Amino acid sequence: MPIKQSTPPEAKDLLDANPEAIYLDVRTEPEFEAGHPLRAINIPVVFPGAGGQMALNPDFVSVVEANIPKDAKIVCGCQVGGRSQMAADLMAQAGYSDLTNVRGGFGGLQDPATGEVIMGWEDEGYPVETGSTDENGYAALKSKM
């Protein structure tokens, strides 16, 4: 089943209408701590590897499963929408079904094929917080495995 796609305004509406919905920010810990949507939790799908290449987080699915029920409504976001699509695909393979990818993510994007500009969560002026806590930070979430 294809992953649902949304823009940041559509994702915000979904989260506002569903207080139990989860915004899963799959960016790196430094990116998350620099700014993320309110109520977001951070489980990075990739980590910076050798030579600046990104390497898949081998614990991604396990940490997700330890923290998020399979029947949860999940909005996956990253900086522009690529890593979050990868995360949503991995989660779908693990049995999650109510998944939405945020095209444009936190920082926005310009579609190279069409030139369409999608403003990101931050550029839309939506609520943002910084740092991480024992409830939303990766280290705390990973400790529940």
Residues 131-140 pLDDT 10s: 999 999 999 9
**Of all residues in the chain, what percent carry a pLDDT higher than 70?**
99
- pLDDT-based confidence at 42, cuts 50/70/90? very high
Backbone CA torsion sign across 7, 127, 17, 29: positive
Between 49 and 120, the higher pLDDT residue: 120
Q: Cβ neighbours of residue 10 under 8 Å, at least 6 residues apart?
A: none
Tokens for 22?
């989860």
pLDDT of 50: 81
Q: How far apart are CA 139 and CA 89, in angstroms?
A: 23
What is the residue range of 79's domain? 4-142
Q: Residue 87 in 3-state DSSP? A: helix
What is the pairing mode between strands 109-110 and 22-25? unpaired
Tokens for 43?
């489980």
> Model pTM?
0.95
pLDDT of 79: 97
Secondary structure element (H or E) that encloses residue 4, with its range: strand 4-6
pLDDT of 1: 67
Q: What is the CATH number of the domain that holds 88?
A: 3.40.250.10
Between 2 and 43, the higher pLDDT residue: 43
CB 106 within 8 A of CB 36: yes
User: Total domain count for the chain?
Assistant: 1
